[in-house]
Amino acid sequence: GAVVSQHPSRVICKSGTSVKIECRSLDFQATTMFWYRQFPKQSLMLMATSNEGSKATYEQGVEKDKFLINHASLTLSTLTVTSAHPEDSSFYICSARDLRAGEKLFFGSGTQLSVL
Amino acid sequence: QQQVKQSPQSLIVQKGGISIINCAYENTAFDYFPWYQQFPGKGPALLIAIRPDVSEKKEGRFTISFNKSAKQFSLHIMDSQPGDSATYFCAASNGNSGYALNFGKGTSLLVTP
């Protein structure tokens, strides 16, 4: 299947700093990428849909000024958590559609963010 | 609001047994139903998926049963192995939303030796 690479896998930062997470589709072009958030032992919750060359669409309750998403190319989407606080600590996972594979979504390996 | 309801929350099965996880949905616009397997600290991996025009799909030890009228679908893992111990998520999506997935709450499966 298609490969989605997510980096970093783990990051620890101080409260008030910003953290950038990268999501790359390695062997396909992804016009659409999705960002999910997962708390321990809970389900994946969709945060936003990222479309190449246009503004991201955020789910209700997700602060777009806090979670900045940029999808500047067909293989890269970034999520920046701005002015991070301890309550932003979570597992963030990106996913992408490979149009050659139809409706299938492929996921990155996730980023564990810990805000001290 | 959880658009996909999943049960049970946890499941313990003996090696060689059958693991069964159930999901239900309300939105009839959903037209794609995948199952994902997730190990701790990893992203979910696609196991098997089905569309509503098919009642059953089998891939190896994994089978999806789909009941369109009841708006329910289930995952059967035959000959369960300790390596199958993981969290399983059902999901649903439709093309109108770019196939963004709505996940169930997950089932933690433990297969005992």
Which of A37, A42, A9, A12 has its CA nearest to residue A23?
A9
How many Å apart are CA A79 and CA A49, to the nearest integer?
A: 11
Contact call for residues B99 and B91 (beta carbons, < 8 A) = no
Residue numbers in B near A99 (CB within 8 A):
none
Mean pLDDT, rounded, for A83-96? 96
Q: Which residue of B has its CA nearest to A103?
A: B99
Cβ atoms within 10 Å, residue A73: 13
Q: Which residue of B has its CA nearest to A48?
A: B100
How many Å apart are CA A4 and CA A27, to the nearest integer?
A: 8
pLDDT band at B1 (very low <50, low <70, confident <90, very high): low
| pLDDT tens by residue, B8-35 | 999 999 999 999 999 999 999 999 999 9
Q: What is the Cβ-side half-sphere exposure of residue B46, based on CA atoms within 13 angstroms?
A: 22
Q: Which residue of A has its CA nearest to B100?
A: A34
User: Per the CB < 8 Å rule, is B104 touching A1?
Assistant: no
In one-letter notation, the amino acid at residue A41 is K
| pLDDT tens by residue, A7-30 | 999 999 999 999 999 999 998 888
Which of B11, B34, B24 has its CA nearest to residue B68?
B24
Q: HEC profile for chain B?
A: CCCEEEECCEEEEECCCCEEEEEEECCCCCCEEEEEEECCCCCCEEEEEECCCCCEEEECCEEEEEECCCCEEEEEECCCCHHHCEEEEEEEECHHHCCCCEECCCEEEEEEC
How many Å apart are CA B41 and CA B22, to the nearest integer?
A: 24
Contact call for residues B66 and B56 (beta carbons, < 8 A) = yes
Looking at residue A1, its pLDDT comes to 67
A108 touches chain B (CB under 8 A): yes
User: Per the CB < 8 Å rule, is A103 touching B99?
Assistant: yes
Interface A-B, measured as beta-carbon pairs within 8 A, has a size of: 59
Mean pLDDT, rounded, for A47-65? 92
Closest approach of chain A CAs to the CA of B37, in angstroms? Answer: 11
pLDDT band at A52 (very low <50, low <70, confident <90, very high): confident
Residue with tokens 């990893």: B42
Q: Please provide the average confidence, as pLDDT, over all residues in chain A.
A: 93
Minimal Cβ distance to A32: which of B89, B98, B104: B98
User: Per the CB < 8 Å rule, is A42 touching B106?
Assistant: yes
Mean pLDDT, rounded, for A41-53? 91
Q: How far is CA B72 from the centre of its chain?
A: 11
| pLDDT tens by residue, B39-54 | 999 999 999 999 999 9
Does position A101 have pLDDT exceeding 90, yes or no?
no
Q: How many residues are listed for chain A in this entry?
A: 116
Strand partners, B44: none
Does position A98 have pLDDT exceeding 90, yes or no?
no
